[in-house]
Amino acid sequence: MSDYQLSKALLTGRDDAVMVGVLDRPVHRALVAPFQALRDDADRAGFDLRIVSGFRSFDRQLAIWNAKASGQRTLLDSRGCELAFETLDESTLVDCILRWSALPGASRHHWGSDIDVIDAAAVPDDYEVQLTPAEVEDDGPFAPMHDWLDKQLSNGAGYGFFRPYNEDRGGIAPERWHLSYAPLSARCEAALRPAVLRQQLEDSELLLKANVLARLDELFRRYVSVPAEVYPSAYAPLLVEGERE
């Protein structure tokens, strides 16, 4: 896996040269074979594993961030309930955004290693995917596929994929729909340092920039870093190859 070229541009979503289309969704070319293998297994189990979000550029993440930071997009609390934008101070607003959306330059989707998935066989073609806990838990339409995925991942049959947000660790809310390809994402995470992110944000049109930069080290630890123990054990050692600042 050492042949991955992890430039600052790739790490921060400013370079999509290595992205290719899989079922009309862009991902890093390293994902094509393992995802297809997982998809084939899902098909045999009766599920239609589809990617609804793959690579996401810096500019796209910036647009999402700024829309939320200006009150143009809905903000949710940890339970998924809508918040009143006008009642939030800047620090609270930053934390509310980060609970569900990554900082531009710090999204795992920038790497092309991370995907959001659904079971397309469980809903009509015109169904509008929300990517909410209600869709993937209990009686949600995608819950059976994710129950199956849980077993695959725990049995070492996930082809390198894992769930980076498998539980609430006080940062990003749990996202059962989010899968990460560890052979690539572990190297990207090791290489993305706060100083690299700071440089990207300083040169951007990020709203709430002053607050974010003043708290960047704290925000990085809480909302960007994924603990090594969450990764499949075979790939966790890759994280130590890039010492963070």
List, for residues 99-108, the tens digit of each pLDDT value. Answer: 999 999 999 9
Which tens digit of pLDDT belongs to each residue from 113-169? 999 999 999 999 999 999 999 999 999 999 999 999 999 999 999 999 999 999 999
Is residue 26 within 8 A of residue 20, CB to CB? The reply is yes
Closest CA to 46 of 138, 124, 148: 148
Spatial separation of the C-alpha atoms in residues 139 and 133, rounded to whole Å: 11
Q: How much is the pTM?
A: 0.94
Element (H, E) at 33: helix 32-44
* Residue 117 neighbours by CB under 8 Å, 6+ apart: 49, 50, 51, 52, 177, 179
